[in-house]
Amino acid sequence: MVQVISSNEEYQRVLQSGKTVIVDWFATWCGPCKAISPVFAQISETIDDIVFIKVDVDEVPEAAGDADISAMPTFQVYQDGKKVDELVG
């Protein structure tokens, strides 16, 4: 299941959970973001040991800035609170 993040504090708490986290950085006005969203949700239903989250760059700009998001969609993978992989576009 995909968790929608609504604050920078919540985002930081998830990253520091000690679990592997995949972040879908998106914007409501982004066409490609809307197209990939169902696929991200479907993948999240098949993998239990990874936390899947979505962060709206317009709703949580501080987190987006901290993560150096410059394009959407961007997917980032975190382990132990550190970014280990990224896919942009």
DSSP annotation of 89? -
User: One of 5, 30, 55, 69 is an active-site residue; which one?
Assistant: 30
Query: How far, in Å, CA of 6 to CA of 47, rounded?
Result: 23
Please give the distance of CA 9 from its chain centroid, rounded to a whole number.
14
**Annotated catalytic residue 33:** yes
User: One of 14, 21, 33, 69 is an active-site residue; which one?
Assistant: 33
**Annotated catalytic residue 22:** no
Q: Is 75 exposed, middle or buried (0-12, 13-18, 19+ CB in 10 A)?
A: middle
Tell me which residues are annotated as active site: 30, 33
